[in-house]
Amino acid sequence: MVVFIGIGLFIKSLPLLKDQNLFTILSGSTWSPLKGQFGFLPFITGTVSVTLIALVIAAPLCLLSSIYLVEYASALLKKTVLPLINVLAAIPPVLYGVWGILFVVPLISNYIGSIFGSTNAGYSILSGGIVLAVMIFPIMISIIVEVLQTIPPDLKAASLSLGATRWETIQKVILKKARPGIIAAIVLATSRAFGETIAVLMVCGNIPQIPKSLFDAGYPIPALIANNFGEMMSIPHYDAALMFAALLLLTIIFLFNLISRLILNKLEEKA
């Protein structure tokens, strides 16, 4: 199915690819459809920047939260927190976007940004990264908790009986055994982050520029497609450019998952 989608997007992108060099399209930094300039570098950097920020925030917090829930939390706390996490996963993305506008954007504009001397209004890749991190919390925590719960109790007992502390057992035994599953959870959450549209669109600023700091506005590829599809289609190659944007996003996600799968296979061979 993915192959057919890719072929369809490629065919729709051909008018642009025939008219302009692929390297020029990918490395160009100017987006001006009226002038026939379709530089995708700002959108690529915007997508990668927001996703990396979300990953840097979410991965350690989700891992530590999952360890606490599995190894330290009481049964009552588990029964209370885990269903709430599942509820978070069901919240529509637009509500996360509204939350970002009402809380995250003012926080960055009035407090965090001023500390670092930024005069940005708060609509930035940092805002997008924070909102996106919160959005991928539920899926990442749920999977990591399930992975940690599959570790045989005998392994923990054997480590503790040899004199290891509880934290040493978590570090040396549990996390080592669960590493492939943890990486798979991060990969799955990151794949979702790459394609997230509405919430990120609402807080990133949507300016086609290459972000030079966390407080600069960005323009991820999904936001580009959502903002412009169906408009200005009378401009030559404009629809082909948006189809190419979709193809580019599909390629980025495919390559990310392929590389992650190869890394996971290597880790499983060593385990």
Domains identified in the chain and CATH numbers: 2-270 (1.10.3720.10)
The partner residues of 205 in beta bridges, in order of sequence, read 218
The type of residue at 178 is: A
267 pLDDT tier (thresholds 50, 70, 90): low
User: Looking at residue 271, what is its pLDDT?
Assistant: 57
- Inter-residue contact 41 to 29 (CB < 8 Å): yes
* pLDDT at residue 259, rounded to an integer: 82
**Residue where the block lists tokens 């995250």:** 104
pLDDT for 113 equals 79
Q: Which of 224, 207, 225 is nearest to 216 (CA)?
A: 207
Q: What are the tokens at 171?
A: 């570090």
For range 3-8, the mean pLDDT: 87
C-alpha 169/C-alpha 177 separation (Å) is 11
Has residue 168 got a pLDDT over 80?
yes
Q: Are 97 and 131 in contact (CB under 8 A)?
A: yes
pLDDT band at 177 (very low <50, low <70, confident <90, very high): confident
More confident residue, 269 or 135: 135
